[in-house]
Amino acid sequence: MARLEDVKRDEGAAQEVGRLLCDGMTLFQIARQWGVPKHLFADWFLAEHGEVFERAQRALGSEDMHEVVAIADGEGDVARDRLKCDVRFKRASKFDRKRYGEEADAVKVTPVTIQIANLRGEVAVVVPALAAKEEI
């Protein structure tokens, strides 16, 4: 437990954890390597330095997408390459939901009616439209 307190006091610890996360390590792996309790370390880091964790996750998602492009441009076993691309894309979509995820845009649906008039201003056709979408 004393080791965790030392990590918390170390001003460069958060930056080092961010670097290790970008290298692909998990918080639990870092805690094990540093000899600190995993759950307490993860709780502390996410509470105090959540933005570092999120930036590292986005960086890994971006790296995954670059790998997808490289795999898709290469030659090899089509089935294996497809699996590699699918796995990396899925991981990228979890790491950076805003850029690569299936996050649905929030929309407000408004029913509309379209009236078509002739040149004399007489309504010739009234068409109920399906809906108009507008971002919230």
pLDDT by residue (tens digit) across 50-90? Answer: 999 999 999 999 999 989 888 888 888 888 888 988 899 88
Domains of the chain, with CATH numbers? 2-103 (1.10.10.60), 105-136 (no CATH)
Q: What is the pLDDT of residue 109?
A: 52
pLDDT-derived band at 136, boundaries 50, 70, 90:
very low
Plot region of 103 (φ>0 → left; ψ -120 to 50 → alpha; else → beta): beta
3-state secondary structure of 118: coil
Spatial distance between the Cα atoms of 117 and 110, rounded to a whole number of angstroms: 22
Which of 68, 93, 91 is CA-nearest to residue 81? 68
Nearest alpha carbon to residue 43 among 53, 33, 34, 35: 53
Quick one: average pLDDT of 6-20? 94
Distance from C-alpha of 111 to C-alpha of 134, rounded to nearest angstrom: 11
pTM of the model: 0.64
Q: Which residues of 106-125 are buried (b: 16+ CB within 10 A; e: fewer)?
A: eeeeeeeeeeeeeeeeeeee
